[in-house]
Chain A
Amino acid sequence: SQKIEQNSEALNIQEGKTATLTCNYTNYSPAYLQWYRQDPGRGPVFLLLIRENEKEKRKERLKVTFDTTLKQSLFHITASQPADSATYLCALDTNDYKLSFGAGTTVTVRA
């Protein structure tokens, strides 16, 4: 069956450190992989999209890698700040226009 798994545990890190989140999937062939941020009581907000033929994508302090052989994406937040505290969702984008989401990883950055 199809499955998307993100870090099962919440991530607690010190301000200034790098947070690394994982997204593993099985029985999908995504053309794209996306990452979203969700704050309590709000809808998800898009952060980054990476294509299947791209290895890495960066946006400011965010970096995403995509390994279609390992069926895994890593999401890094460098120089983390308390304002980065949120739940981060990965989403697989297959060619049928639907997005399939992981359960998310909650990140808490301590000042």
Chain B
Amino acid sequence: SAVISQKPSRDICQRGTSLTIQCQVDSQVTMMFWYRQQPGQSLTLIATANQGSEATYESGFVIDKFPISRPNLTFSTLTVSNMSPEDSSIYLCSVRMGVGTEAFFGQGTRLTVV
């Protein structure tokens, strides 16, 4: 199993600013992911955070808007850049040990952009 500490748990930000979300895992994990969940909608995968290399982004998400770092196997950050109200959402960090295994999630970061 894995325990994930994600922070901040919530924030209210001004448009045009950036917010960095941190994800700390209590054990080394290979696969780490960042999701977005808009109200009443499913989790949408933003990117896979790769240790020591650039993240792999899903269609519709770009590095300039959502830069991701993963300096080691237990830590990652997601930055939401140049925010607009459309970025208001819940952002979730998740880890897995491999295909066919369960995913573990952080508590999420509820972001409101005003």
| A residues in contact (CB < 8 Å) with B | 4, 31-32, 34, 36, 41-46, 49, 51, 89, 91, 93, 95-104
Question: B42 on the interface (CB 8 Å rule)?
Answer: yes
Q: How far is the CA of A36 from the CA of B4 in the complex (A)?
A: 17
Instruction: Tell whether, in the assembled complex, residue B96 and residue A97 are in contact, meaning their CB atoms are under 8 Å apart.
Output: yes
Prevailing SS type, chain B contact patch: strand
Instruction: Tell whether, in the assembled complex, residue B98 and residue A102 are in contact, meaning their CB atoms are under 8 Å apart.
Output: no
A97-B31, A101-B43 as given contacts; A46 in contact with B100, CB under 8 Å:
no
Instruction: Tell whether, in the assembled complex, residue B98 and residue A97 are in contact, meaning their CB atoms are under 8 Å apart.
Output: yes
B62 to chain A, nearest CB (A): 18
Instruction: Tell whether, in the assembled complex, residue A103 and residue B100 are in contact, meaning their CB atoms are under 8 Å apart.
Output: no
| B residues in contact (CB < 8 Å) with A | 4, 6, 31, 33, 40-43, 45, 48, 92, 94, 96, 98-108, 110
A4-B42, A103-B40 as given contacts; A95 in contact with B107, CB under 8 Å:
no
Q: Of A44, A93, A95, which contacts B105 at CB under 8 A? A: A44
| New contact pairs (13) apart from A41-B107, A43-B106, A99-B94, CB-CB < 8 Å | A34-B102, A34-B103, A41-B110, A43-B94, A43-B108, A44-B105, A46-B102, A49-B100, A97-B99, A99-B45, A99-B96, A103-B42, A104-B42
